[in-house]
Structure 1
Amino acid sequence: MKPQSMLFTIYGEYVRHHGGEIWVGSLTRLMGEFGMSEQAVRVAISRTVSQGWLKARKIGNRSYYSMTPRGKKRLDEAGARIYKQTSAKWDGKWCITTYNIPEKQRAMRDQFRKELSWMGFGMLANSVWISPNDLADRVKEIAESYNITDCIEIFTSEHIGISTDKQLVEKCWNLDEINKAYQEFIDQYRPQYEKLREQVEKKQEISDGECFVEKTKLVHEYRKFLFIDPSLPEELLPNFWVGRDADDLFRNYYALLDPGAVRFFLSVFESAPDKDLALS
């Protein structure tokens, strides 16, 4: 687990639900549970700040960090997808994004592609990306933030052939590879879940610290599917889709670990003092 990636997990899973700001000392203590040194944590924080995801606030000789608006939006998007509810029936519409970003802006073009992939778009052809989800407004926001609106076009369309919608999906996403990744997740975490459930049933004590480490690892690992699973509606999924079983396992294991994990986090968590108190 890389420190910078773990920062996003800690903020997304804990800090954003408790005021959004945390003392750097609390961060180093929490991430130290995963064997990360204070220096490694501070380097990761510095990089995340320089990339525009985190911002610092100094009170006395203490530094407190919170997500920037950009960071909060990313965490909200991730949370909505990780803890997704059953989606409504698909309306049959496709969101299509095309771009013509010049070679001199190659770095921007690559970054825009990464954003499209993160949102769940699949590449149908060179510079043509599609999604069955209504993501037009989000694409507009990203284009505006990167100042490339003159290079982007967005359409909403129906697919009328020649292939079927499911065949179209197969052209844009490797569902077999995603299924394989979900199966590997299940193979790794089901034995741990069964063991913990047995401990709970036998009323064996499980430390809050253990719950924090295991739950954070679980979320950290499951968060990786945000980068490969396009969150397709049920109508477009194959009959054999391991993602459903992986999601059930994630939710059940999460529910067992969550109470103790939150207690441990709160025992270490220190936010900034009241603003008026800090100024007095």
Structure 2
Amino acid sequence: MTTDDDTGSAREHTPGSLLVTFFGAHGRDLGGWIAVGDLIRLLAAVGVDAQAVRSAVSRLKRRGFLVPEPLGGVAGYALSESASELLADGDRRIYASRASRLADGWVLALFSVPESERQKRHLLRSRLARLGYGTAAPGVWVAPAHLFEETRHVLTRLKLAEYTDLFRAEHLAFEPTREAVARWWDLPALARCHEEFLEVHEPVLTRWNRRRGAVSLPEAFADHLRAVDSWRRLPYLDPGLPMELLPAGWPGQRAARVFQELDARLRDASRDFVRETIGNG
């Protein structure tokens, strides 16, 4: 569930990013609508003040992510249709297993856009990059084969399919595939992203695993929201490259395991906090 504001490292939690993450994790469970006052109370648990929430809501409204929709005289917002589709796409990437094998091969994306439609060329490039594609050569984009269906779905939804050809491929020559992958993707930068996630969130998991007794719902909500907010960028930056091609000690699998365990540990308590807060609003 990435948006145009989703850049930066795992350490950054802007009000807009946290709000998008909240709607992805909880908004649809609420029927896609929530009162502004409830949003303010909920995001206060992660240290976001009321004015910052209102400003973030306004930005998301301008971008078409949220639609103003008063209900019973109460100011509130609903997810737009495009936002709901974006979040559904994100679910498949964020929570799915991304293991791939070299034997599975690759998907190649080649596109041709008329000069009169340069904006669509830029959109195509940006979307392929956001899906985790690397650049094998000018105009030739490559990704693990398991991204084929997601790529086809996204390009069809964005009405970009007519400009694009997708191929299943096998790398045969002339450069060793491990060296080629290191050229197609910035592996040191990807590793740093995983390491930053681990540095911030692995101690949080350790702390929760040592807990005994009643769970603090506001704390569970805050830790869970921050973890999802940090993690949801990484599966788009790192497309799940085959382990055979990655440097020794690659931190991606460990980061994925920490996220999955944190999500399993805190998800229900986080949802309980949301229901409790809205019920007392």
Deviations 1:169-199, CA, capped at 9 Å, x for gaps: 2121122221222122222222232223222
The CA RMSD measured in Å over matched residues stands at: 2.7
- 1:104, 1:69 → 2: CA distance? 29
The partner residue of 2:19 within 1, 4, 7 is 7
- Mark the CA change 1:16 to 1:233 in structure 2 (over 3 Å): closer, same or farther: farther
Q: Secondary structure at the match of 2:96?
A: coil
Give the aligned residue type for 1:61.
G
Aligned mate of 2:95, from 65, 68, 83: 83
Amino acid across the alignment from 1:57? E
Q: Contact conserved, 2:124 with 2:160, CA < 8 A, in 1?
A: no
- Alignment-derived partner of residue 234 in structure 2: 225
The equivalent of 1:275 in structure 2 is none
In structure 2, stretches of 5+ residues that fail to align are 1-12
Aligned partner of 1:197 in structure 2 is 209
Contact 1:78 1:226 in 2 (8 A): no
1:17/1:103 CA distance change after superposition, 3 Å: same
Provide the residue aligned with 1:126 in structure 2. Answer: 138
CA contact (8 A) 2:69 2:77 kept: yes
Aligned pair partner of 2:277 in 252, 268, 273: 268
Using the size of structure 1 for normalisation, the TM-score is 0.82
Amino acid in structure 2 at the alignment position of 1:70: S
Letter of the 1:84 counterpart: A
For structure 1, which segment, 187-196 or 230-239, has the greater mean C-alpha deviation from structure 2 after superposition?
A: 230-239
Contact 1:118–1:226, Cα closer than 8 Å, also in 2: no
Aligned-residue offset at 1:239:
4.0
Q: Percent identity?
A: 27
2:10 paired residue number: none
Partner Cα separation in structure 2 for residue 192 and residue 136 of structure 1: 35
Check if 1:170 corresponds to 2:182. Answer: yes
**Residue 63 of structure 1, CA deviation:** 3.5
Per-residue CA deviation, residues 144-173 of structure 1 (Å, 9 max, x unaligned), is: 555555533322222222123333321211
Picking from 210, 215, 235, the partner of 2:219 is 210
- Give how far 1:135 is off: 4.1
In structure 1, the partner of 2:81 is 69
Q: Which amino acid aligns with 2:192?
A: K
Give CA-to-partner distance per residue, 1:63-114, whole Å, 9 cap, x none.
4433233222222222222222364756533221122335554444333222
Residue 21 of structure 1 corresponds to: 33
> 1:143, CA displacement in angstroms?
4.4
Counterpart residue identity of residue 182, structure 2: E
Kept in 2: contact 1:183–1:246 (CA 8 A): yes
In structure 2, C-alpha distance between the alignment counterparts of 1:102 and 1:13, rounded to whole Å: 39
One-letter amino acid matched to 1:73 = E
Partners of 2:227 and 2:152 lie apart in 1 by: 33
| Bigger mean CA offset, 104-113 vs 240-249 | 104-113
Structure 1 contact 21–66 (Cα < 8 Å) conserved: yes
Distance in 2, matches of 1:138 and 1:59, equals 36
**Contact persistence 1:95–1:132 (CA under 8 A):** yes
Aligned CA distance change for structure 1 residues 67 and 133 (closer, same or farther; 3 Å): farther
Cα shift at 1:11: 0.9
For residue 194 of structure 2, what is the aligned residue in structure 1?
Answer: 182
Distance 1:143 1:222, change over 3 A: closer
Shift of 1:213: 0.9
2:49 corresponds to 1:40: no
Partners of 2:121 and 2:107 lie apart in 1 by 19
How far apart are the structure 2 equivalents of 1:249 and 1:149?
36
- Paired residues of 1:90 and 1:235 also in contact (CA < 8 A): yes
Larger radius of gyration: 1
- Please give the alpha-carbon distance, in whole angstroms, between the structure 1 residues aligned to 2:124 and 2:117: 11
CA distance in structure 2 between the partners assigned to 1:258 and 1:137 by the alignment: 28
